[in-house]
Amino acid sequence: AAYVIAAGLDAHNNVNENEEPLSLLSISVQKAENLVIKDWALQSKNRSSDPYVVVKVDGKKVGKTQVVKKNLSPEWNYVVECEVRAPQDSVVELKIWDKDLATSDAMGAVILRDLPRGEEPVVEWRDVECTSDCKDASGRLYCGAAWSKPERKPPSSTKRRHLEVLVLKDNPDLGDRGCAALAKAAAATPSLSRLDLARCGCGPQTGFALADELCFQFSVERPRAWIGVRAPGAEEEELDTKPRPPPPDPRPHLSIGLSRNFELGNDAINRLAYVAERSKYRLGVECSSDLYGDEAGLMLAGLPAKDRRFVISSKTVVEAPVPAPAPAAIAEGPPVDLMHKARWTKADYALMTLESDSVTYDLSRPSQVSRPSFDHSTV
């Protein structure tokens, strides 16, 4: 499931409405005559071939005709269409084969170049040429091709729907490898502001993949020590050398929930903290508080070093406020619940502390009170 979602995100991110539309290439293989004999027999009347044609465009297979048994002048009436980027430069190879029980023998080929533009393929007789694996090719092939370009549609007034929140929490069977692929694709989604992978089986691979992708998305330079280092248990991946479009600037705020993933590991947390600190409040990562101290917690919350020092060494300290009592239950609806947290760290108060000019909450010891309400939209 994780790989399916990741593939969908990649497809969503790769849509470019400004790209030139692909051309439609139509290839026709109608019939042949006087093909070479590949199935020999003692009696000449039993000598024949079982021909079929494989169609390739720029070296990529796009179609294949049916096999016609014991016939040197077969008819296929086959047409195949495919999309190409530059039809004027495309090369079409129509290679003829003789079908045997275990293998196939080459019978020559016809190469089509300088393809004409038109709605229907221009078919004509073409001589079958010898190839490196068939030196005795003979006969002709009635075939042709043509390409057409669809009319470019005006830009749509309806924009692609932006994906802002992706919540997959409480799915431990997704596993570390699945979450690593998913997290990388999700982090590359420009409009995403919240990714929740709490209790999804995330481990070092997820953390490493997130850190690498987020460095690119938030324009953070990767440390040299990271280069070539794989997460424990991760397989070696082929590096993608294709150029990537620059990330949006500024990248919107992104909040990532990784709590209750106790196999995440210190190395992965340190990497995520490194990126979060340098993103300067545009990235916040939530991990289980038992896995890190207050300093790392503030880094994960996205606080740069100067603001971390302010929070930790603040002299104006008061007791953390007691939350207001819950409002009475509404007669026509369910009661309103308050959010509760068993233990708080300095990271919990960090953003509230920096926002307040007159008061700083007590960050020196755990608090057993419920979390006060706070409007995160102002961050």
pLDDT per position as a tens digit, 175-217 = 888 888 888 888 888 888 888 999 888 989 999 989 988 988 8
Asked if residues 166 and 196 have their Cβ atoms less than 8 Å apart, the reply is yes
Q: Between these two residues, 358 and 290, which has the higher pLDDT value?
A: 290
Query: Is residue 219 scored above 80 in pLDDT?
Result: yes
**Can you give the pLDDT at residue 337?**
36
71-99 per-position pLDDT tens digit: 999 999 999 999 888 888 899 999 999 98
CB atoms under 10 Å from CB of 99, counted, come to: 17
Tell me what the mean pLDDT of segment 101-108 comes to: 87
**Can you give the pLDDT at residue 95?**
94
Q: Between these two residues, 209 and 242, which has the higher pLDDT value?
A: 209
Query: Is residue 354 scored above 90 in pLDDT?
Result: no
- The first and second tokens of residue 336, run together, are 């309103």
- Of residues 358, 195, 349, 361, the one with CA closest to residue 284: 195
Q: Are strands 104-112 and 122-127 parallel, antiparallel or unpaired?
A: unpaired
- The first and second tokens of residue 307, run together, are 């603001």
Could you give the C-alpha distances from 368 to 322, 336, 338, 341, 365, in angstroms and in order?
A: 10, 21, 14, 8, 10
What distance in Å separates the CA atoms of residue 208 and residue 205, rounded to the nearest whole number? 5
Query: Is residue 332 scored above 80 in pLDDT?
Result: no
Query: Is residue 29 scored above 60 in pLDDT?
Result: yes
- The first and second tokens of residue 330, run together, are 């509404």
Average per-residue pLDDT for the chain: 76
For the entire predicted model, the pTM comes to 0.48
What distance in Å separates the CA atoms of residue 314 and residue 352, rounded to the nearest whole number? 13
Query: Is residue 237 scored above 70 in pLDDT?
Result: no
Query: Is residue 375 scored above 60 in pLDDT?
Result: no
